[in-house]
């Protein structure tokens, strides 16, 4: 069975601080995808990134960056120079490649509060 753990329930930072959201996953499969989604108060999950298990290269997109380390089964997400608009719940998710369909297994989420 697959499992995603987001140990940080809530993080509070002041605007312009950097913040890292942790994600640890468990799977016995060697081929899988990892995702990050953002859920603002409106409720709609917004896709941020997808990485496959073959590609451990870190990725940067503007103020967002992701660190994927298979050795520690972690896929951490860093927001640089946080802004108030970054306040939301962030979910890490996992799916297997070889099932023929896509079932996302989500963590419990980390609520990020960015104050001015």
Partner 1 sequence: DAGVTQSPTHLIKTRGQQVTLRCSPKSGHDTVSWYQQALGQGPQFIFQYYEEEERQRGNFPDRFSGHQFPNYSSELNVNALLLGDSALYLCASSLGQGVYEQYFGPGTRLTVT
Closer CB to partner 1, 80 or 106, in the complex? 106
Among 28, 44, 62, 116, binds partner 1 (CB under 8 A): 44
What's the token pair of residue 64? Answer: 């967002």
How big is the CA angle at 44 (ends 40 and 49), to the nearest 5 degrees? 80
Question: Rounded distance, CA 31 to CA 21, Å?
Answer: 23
- The reply on whether position 7 binds partner 1 by CB under 8 A is no
- The reply on whether position 115 binds partner 1 by CB under 8 A is no
Question: Rounded distance, CA 69 to CA 77, Å?
Answer: 12
Chain residues that interact with partner 1, rule: CB under 8 A: 4, 33, 35, 37, 42-47, 50, 52, 91, 93, 95, 97, 99-109
């Amino acid at each position: 069975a697959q499992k995603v753990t987001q140990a940080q329930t809530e993080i509070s930072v002041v605007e312009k601080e950097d913040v890292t959201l942790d994600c640890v996953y468990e799977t016995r499969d060697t081929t899988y995808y990892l995702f990050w989604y953002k859920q603002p108060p409106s409720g709609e999950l917004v896709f941020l990134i997808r990485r496959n298990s073959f590609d451990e290269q870190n990725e940067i997109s503007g103020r967002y960056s992701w660190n994927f380390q298979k050795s520690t089964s972690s896929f951490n997400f860093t927001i640089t120079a946080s802004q108030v608009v970054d306040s939301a719940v962030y979910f890490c998710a996992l799916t297997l490649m070889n099932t023929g369909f896509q079932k996302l297994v989500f963590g419990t989420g980390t609520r990020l509060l960015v104050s001015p």
